[in-house]
Amino acid sequence: MACFFRRSVAAQLSRICGAPEDVLVPLLSAVPVSKKQSTPDLRLAVNSLVKNGVLSPDADLQTQTERLTKQLRVDAVVEEVISGRGVINFRINKRLLVEKVLEQLRAEPQSFGVQSELLRRLRRGRTLVEFSSPNIAKKFHAGHLRSTIIGNFIANLKEVLGNEVIRVNYLGDWGMQFGLLGAGFQRLGSQEKLRENALQHLFEVYVQVNREAEHDESVRLAAAEFFRRLEQHDEQTLSLWKQFRDITVEEYKKIYERLGVRFDHYSGESFHQSRAQEVLKELRTRRLLKTTEKGKGVVDLSAASDLSSYATLVRSDGTSLYITRDVAAALDRKERFHFDEMIYVTDKSQSVHFQQLFQILRVMGHHWAERCVHVPFGLVLGMSSRLGEVVLLEDVLNEARYRMQHNMQEAKTSKELTDPELTAEQIGVSALIIQDFKGKLISDYKFDWQKVLQAQGDTGVFLQYTHARLRSLLRMHGSGNHTHFNPSHLQDSRSISILQHLLRYDEVLLQSALDLQPRHLVNFLITLSHLAASAHRELPVKGSPAELAQARLRLFSATCSVLANGMKILGITPVDKM
């Protein structure tokens, strides 16, 4: 809805400066709300007019700012124009602000912000997001939590903004470790134990056979033989490997369900074995694969074609590497899904790997590699539970649920819940997500259970608590959405601050879409929750005259809608009671 006000100001600017309105609209930004003083609603950095060729770069910036301010007029939309240092601030008609924002949120609560003309500049189409990507035949390690929730956020955001999204889980399901596991299982495994606790049994077998392989060459030879038969598609060997894979995927789906994450396609390195050989054949035919003195097959990535920078695709023994299968996977996905962009979500240690992958694709002549993106993230430090150091994601989720349920039982304000364990889990997951998303993704961060699960402060628990309080208020009194309301009842500073903040929502979505960082949306929602909490305290519905109560309910309903919409993009399920 900010676009209505931006467009109105841009129309004035266009008449004065002669620039098209469409150039001027994105240059007007909603002003962040200040706790200390009344803030204007929109701001124009005059330097942006210079950068866009609207104003001369030779004239003094402040002189141009003051001259332009004097030329602008107040009207039915703009109440005041204020000159600042290199900026022009606009105060808009507050009655109109209340009417426009709350009417759109009443009529189209789900599309608020996402239909903004600011977002039209974004490329839309088919987006493939590869995320999570754990290794099969192992319990889900906590280290995969970040890739899972970050990838889910990116997929949700792209979908909300009008893209067709394909969510891919690229499993680690190939390599010599499966030779060890397969050979070990044939000797030490039990189908009965596999049925009872599959991943735990496979983990125990792997640990034992790995220990034996360190000092017993016959174990290593047996593993190599098993993997050789696997690569040759021996029926019995492949059947056992497939059993491991199917069991793992079913177990992982239970974890994904707890996190509220889904996938459209499960893939893995194994799917691209034969295509990897085709890639190598093509590279050799086109003389793009060079052989080093040590016998490795490499692709020259240097600007001077002197092998000062290269990627290794073939070992000296002729076997392919992980990056070879990634090239094959990228080519296969382009042919199968016809994506417009592809996003990989992995930890930052793989940054060089993806730089090389995209360069190889470009060297091969695939210009769509320019639309392939790697979103790197840092490490989580110090994640532990009552049981000690946590390595399994299941333990982290159980710990979050246990601690949250304990906190809810201790709290005097807790409501009667239909399923307290599910609610505790949903709030616990919210807490994990917000803790993870508050900073830059590439940064490492220290995990602290005490901070994560605080009900006060900038936490996922606080977001859920705010949403639940608003939902409780609306259940008790109704939303006010089906009745007429008087905008003059929402001219107080608390109401106006919320509405001014809501004007920023489309800008926050745009920034999130441009850099694929969730912190912009997290910060927006936390501020919205603080503003809503203050308004809830100071703007009572109960006991107020009917017309005033209806107006406040309309405001709280709108706030609740945006809060819920934003939480869902982050991958959080909003709870109605807690």
- All domains in the chain, ordered by first residue: 2-92 (3.30.1360.70), 385-570 (1.10.730.10)
Question: What does the pLDDT read at residue 479?
Answer: 78
Say what percent of the chain tops pLDDT 90: 75
Question: What does the pLDDT read at residue 407?
Answer: 86
**DSSP code for 118:** G
The residue with greater pLDDT, 367 or 393, is 367
pLDDT tens readout for residues 270-305: 888 889 999 999 999 999 999 998 999 999 999 988
What distance in Å separates the CA atoms of residue 103 and residue 556, rounded to the nearest whole number? Answer: 13
381 within 8 A of 447, measured Cβ to Cβ: yes
* Beta carbons within 8 Å of 36's beta carbon, 6+ residues apart: none
According to DSSP, the β-strands at 42-45 and 388-389 are: unpaired
Phi, psi values for residue 497, rounded to 5°: -60, -40
pLDDT tens readout for residues 247-260: 999 999 999 999 99
Hey, what are 555's tokens? 């405001």
Reduced to 3 states (helix: H, G, I; strand: E, B; else coil), residue 449 is helix
**Global pTM value:** 0.93
Mean pLDDT lowest among 350-359, 440-449, 530-539: 440-449
Which DSSP string corresponds to 281-350? HHHHHTT-EEE-TTS-EEEE--TTSSSSSEEEEE-TTS-B-HHHHHHHHHHHHHHHH--SEEEEEEEGGG
CA nearest to 423, candidates 401, 407, 406, 403? 401
**Active-site residues: which are they?**
138, 141, 144
155, amino acid identity: A
Mean pLDDT lowest among 147-161, 373-387, 459-473, 557-571: 373-387
